Amino acid sequence: MSAQEKTEMFAAFQHVRWIYGIPIFIIGFLSHFFRALRWKLLLQPLKIFPSTTNITLSVLIGYLANTLVPRLGEVAKCTVLAKYENVPADKLVGTIIAERAFDTVCLLAIVFITLGLQYDIIYPFANQLYNQLFIDESGDFIWARIMIALGVIVVGIVAFVLLYRKIKNSKVGNVIKGIGEGLKAIGQVKHKGLFLLHTLLIWTGYTAAVVVGFYALPETEHLPTLAGLSVITFGSIGMIATPGGIGAYPVIVAQVLLLYGLTEGIGLAYGWVGWAAQTVIVLILGLAALILLPLYNRKKDEKAEAGIGAG
């Protein structure tokens, strides 16, 4: 960054309208809540019926864990829910893998929608990203690397199947079987319309939080709603690349906002403000969930024991 860009970024920080943090916080919580409700639907075919409170708090703890290590949250929320609902963790892990695969498809759909609606704006950036990822130094598509990667995947799958056949009756085999049952659950969801509605609400919430965030800075309040879709599309890469998206998310967002006429300094300022807002939401809700989860279940157990005693 040049001296001028640094000056612009720090000047923008001084004009942040923190009042917009309130609606962003509410939207962020609702997005996580709808994710919990969608996961609950995914567990029903497995005859697992957790309470809405437990599954919501488990999801919030999972997001908190993801700020430390990417994807650690998937394991954390399965472990927590399995403990408090007394259900097999392996089946929960399978549903999470299925859910993430479905979200990947959703993200790809959003990429194509974003590119279709804003072709002239987004194509140069998308093309640049494509060249960085898939074109080698000589200008050719990296067929060799792709084929090697596919070969490794195929060999890995074959080796896994052969190994599973030998250990399918062991404890490890039962765990793998449970994960497989969880993976199949996404095709067995009874309320598919509701499942898709929750998915729509999740991604709408993510986009709405970004758009509301535009109003937090005077320099970004003029940006169109579709710019929020672009930020979600490419910013998601940053959230995956590093723990909680730290560092990567603001840089990618800044590059996206350059396409809408902002300077890199202002783009970075918005990126850091957006990242900070998301991180604060996760920290507050995650820490609150850590405190509330054992308290809620202690009271629930006490009521159950009192009911048994009365009977």
Task: Give the pLDDT of residue 114.
Answer: 86
pLDDT category at 247 given cuts 50, 70, 90 is confident
Question: Is 277 within a domain?
Answer: yes
Specify the pTM.
0.82
Neighbours of 170 (CB within 10 A): 11
Domain assignment present for residue 307? The answer is no
Predicted confidence at residue 311, as pLDDT, reads: 53
Closest CA to 77 of 42, 47, 105, 110: 42
Q: Is 103 a member of any domain? A: yes
42 in any annotated domain: yes
Residue ranges making up the domain that contains 37: 3-298
What gap in Å lies between CA 161 and CA 147, rounded to an integer?
21
Q: What is the pLDDT of residue 148?
A: 80
Q: Which residues contact 299 (CB under 8 A, 6 or more apart)?
A: none
pLDDT tens track for 106-157? 888 888 888 888 888 887 777 777 777 677 666 666 766 677 878 888 888 8
How many domains does one find in the chain? 1
Q: What is the pLDDT of residue 74?
A: 87
Residue 151 lies in a domain: yes
- Better-scored residue on pLDDT, 191 or 6: 191
Condensed to tens digits (0 to 9), the pLDDT of residues 262-295 reads 888 888 888 888 888 888 999 999 999 999 999 9
Determine the average pLDDT of the residues in 26-47. 93
pLDDT, residue 310, reads: 55
The verdict on residue 305 lying in a domain is no
pLDDT-derived band of residue 308, with 50, 70 and 90 as boundaries?
Answer: low
Is residue 270 in a domain?
yes
pLDDT above 90 for 98: no
Does the pLDDT at position 185 exceed 80? no
Let me know if residue 309 belongs to a domain: no
Nearest to 257 by CA among 266, 248, 246: 266
| Dihedral angle over CA of 34, 273, 127, 69, nearest 10 | -60
